[in-house]
Every structure is written in C-alpha cells, then in structure tokens.
Structure 1
C-alpha cells in the first residue's frame, strides 16, 4: 500500500465532512475535545494510532482506508489484506462455498468490493446464458453484466426499475467509500440504455422490495435479492466481500428452478 500524500489530519477532515459531521458532532461521538480535533485536522497535533482508529471507527471508514490513515500518520497498518486464494482465507472460501451450494437451485454469487465475481453456484448460469463472451471474461463485473445491452439487460422485464435500483445502490456505495473505481463504474453504467419502468399495481413482490423479473426461454421468472456480508471482518479483503443471493418471488419461479436443476441445469 502506497503512503498517502495528504497529511492524516486532512484525510480525517475529509472523512468527517463526507459523513456530514461537524467537529462538535465528532467530539460528542468520540469523547475527543473539539480543540484537539482541530489541532489534529490542521496538523498542529500528531494523533496516536489509537486515536486515528477511534475516529475512523466512528466515521465508518472502510478498513483499507483505515490502513491508509495510519500510514499517513506514520504508523503501520492495523488490518491485514490477504489474497482470497491464500491459505489465511481458506476458511472464508470454504464457508462461502457452503453458503452458495446450500442456496441452490436458486442463483447466488460472491462478489468483491468492486462487484467482481469471485464465486458462483451452478444456478447462476441462468443469468449468464445468452450474454456476450466479452462480458464473461475474468474479472466479470456483475453490475456490468446485468445492465449491459449485450448482457442480461434484454431479458430483464423490468429493466428500468432494476437499473434504477442497482444505480442507487452503487451511488450509495460511492458516497460511503469515496472509491474512484466505483465512481467510474457508476458513470459507465449510467450511460447504458434502460428507460423508466414502474412496478405493476398487481405485482405482490413489488410491494415489499424491488424484484428482478427475468425472461428465461418462454418463462417469466421473479426474484427477490438478498445481500450477506461478514459481520465482524478484520481483514480488508473479507470486509469487501458480499454474497448476493436471489430467492424466488413466487411458486412458479421456485418450481421452474427446481425442475431445471433436476433436468441437469440451464441450457446455454
């Protein structure tokens, strides 16, 4: 990890402003005096690593950026960043694979913090079937695959609604992380065609969550998505992982997916 060029005080001030907090708000939340916070932000006082981490935790700074704050302050990183294929994260890989397998015959994927596909169960072939080969070259970005005209988009029946949902999620993620790569992805996806769409008045799934309505062959399928993250990550890589799983929103979809699994899977 490269040492940030900006002083740690400036970086902390940027995170505070990004979270729309005043120095008084941060002082009340952390027990650090506003005078000391001002000295830290202006560089008149060098914060200890414990203070940096206390402020970063209250500001909900991502683990990777907490490491960057420590480096900017002249300290060693506090959080490891192991490769997902390394032996240290073998228990994580095994746990996630069990979750993905258990979710079958319904689709589920593991993605990293930039929405790159890491793992998937067999049922995800339902979504990738019919997509252009260039969208399936590793690393596969699942948001690009979903909204690209050569990907899933032509088969998403409520594309405008689903597109708005995904862009909202990504926009919130950009605001929370200040990640330039995610910001570039948001700009790219926003340029894809999609159109406006409203859920049908008689759509029961649309009354509780945004459904994914997907056309497979001559059948209309309906899904509700769920997101699962690790509750207490200490590793940067693990903190960025999420399982995106899709549950059938009606009995017909559930029956179709079970039948496809019994028949040997999805046809290309």
Structure 2
C-alpha cells in the first residue's frame, strides 16, 4: 500500500505543480510539503484534506489519502437510486421530468445509467436485450453494433467526441473501469475525425429512425460543491433538438 506522501506526490505531479506551488496554494511551507511527501512528517487529517483540495483530488481519492494517513474516510458514498439521498434524488428527478419531452439521463463516473426520463425509452427499445442488463452503460449503448450504433449517422464523430470526454476524465482522475471502457470502445484507430464548424450550438448526434433524421445536442449538469462521492461523480446528460423537425418529433411522442 502506498503511503500518503507517495499518493500526494503522484497527485501533485499529475496536476503539474511543484512543491512550492502547492505550498503557496495551501498556505504551508514548501519544507512541510516535502516532509509529508517523503514520509518524515505525518500530516493531520485536516492537512491531508487541505492539500487534497488544492490538488483538486476527487472525494473518492481523498478517502484513500485519509486511509493511507491512518484516518477514517470522511466522504460517504450512498446510491442515488436508494433512500439515503432523498433531497438529491428528488432534485434530479425534477430535472429529468422537466426536460421531457426531450431525453435526459443520469450517469455515474463510468457512464453507467442511474436514472432516465420517459423520453429515453424509445431509444432503449431499439437495442439488444443483453445491453439492458444492469449496469447499463451509456457509451456501450451508443457504440456497440447491437445498440444504437447502426442508427447514428455520424458515428465516427460521436465516437471521437466521447473519446475526448473520457480521456479528459481519465486525465483528471484515473479509474481502472473507465480506462477499460475506453480501451474496449474508444481506442484510437484509423483516421481521426475533425469536428465540423458551423453548428449553431454544438456538434449534434444524428440518428436515423424509420427514414427520419433526428439531430440532438447535449448539455451536462453536475452537483455544485458535493460532499458525497456519489453526488460528485454523477452527471445529468440532457439532450435538445438541434432543428425544428427534431423538436416536432419529440413533442409528438405520447409520454
């Protein structure tokens, strides 16, 4: 097991900071940072948290730092779809319902789907049943040939966008499960796609169902200043129509 000093040094290197940079940001001496990293000084729990905050260490990894320093974890991890976070769950469900008739869903750090609104159902009805066995992964639904991939007109572009997003996630906080998903479905191969300029808002996902093209762009919503691991790691993916024809299709759905 790595020491807290070794873990802090890895996070500092990952953020591209010197010991002096970190010491100034955390309002401690550079010597103290050095002593902590080399194991010659045992930091208090509050010092571990202070350094982790300046390094933008995710809550899950802050617990790991605390354990390595000999302290109990501070940040709980409770399922959003359980009964432990009723206010947060109600807030998320309100957002999902309010977004109808357009699709919206909640995903965790590995892009597993936690909650959806009713407008997602027509999309899930088109994928193979084996892809709907929990945990249902949004990236796999989109890129697997048994999923939505055959219906996505600009599949290479969508894959490229997902590759960029997940690569950024891994750069911020490495995760073995997410890395495995990236290797399975998003490993670079062939010519890279250059994203098109000129879209009014963002690069759309273009679906073709029954001869009709649906153009959607997405936004991402996260919780501000969460103190629970689950709340820090979930995001709401909301999809909007990119043209009048797509808007008309969704407003005509019987939800």
TM-score by structure 2 length?
Answer: 0.94
Aligned counterpart, 1:76: 72
After TM superposition, list the pairs within 5 Å mapping 1:199-214 onto structure 2. Answer: 204-205=198-199, 208-214=201-207
Per-residue deviation, 1:21:
1.1
1:255 to 239, 248, 255: 248
Q: What does residue 245 of structure 1 align with?
A: 238
Contact 2:196 2:203 in 1 (8 A): no
RMSD of aligned alpha carbons: 1.8
Query: Runs of at least 4 residues of structure 1 off by over 3 A?
Result: 191-201
Tell me which residue corresponds to 2:24. Answer: 28
Paired residues of 1:160 and 1:195 also in contact (CA < 8 A): no
Give ranges in structure 1 of 5+ residues lacking alignment: none
Paired residues of 1:113 and 1:240 also in contact (CA < 8 A): yes
- Quick check: 1:141 aligned with 2:137? yes
Residue in 1 aligned with 2:108?
112
What secondary structure sits across from 1:88 in the alignment? Answer: coil
**Whole-angstrom CA distance in 2 between matches of 1:246 and 1:194:** 29
Conserved in 1, the CA contact under 8 Å of 2:81 and 2:114?
Answer: no
**Aligned CA distance change for structure 1 residues 74 and 199 (closer, same or farther; 3 Å):** closer
The 8 Å contact of residues 110 and 118 in structure 1, kept in 2 or not, is answered as yes
- How far residue 178 of structure 1 moved from its aligned partner, in angstroms, is 1.2
Partner of 1:130: 126
Contact conserved, 1:101 with 1:121, CA < 8 A, in 2? yes
Report the counterpart of residue 91 of structure 2 in structure 1. Answer: 95
Give the secondary-structure state (helix, strand or coil) at the position aligned to 2:84. Answer: helix
Is 1:220 matched up with 2:213? yes
For the residue of structure 2 that corresponds to 1:87, the secondary structure is: coil
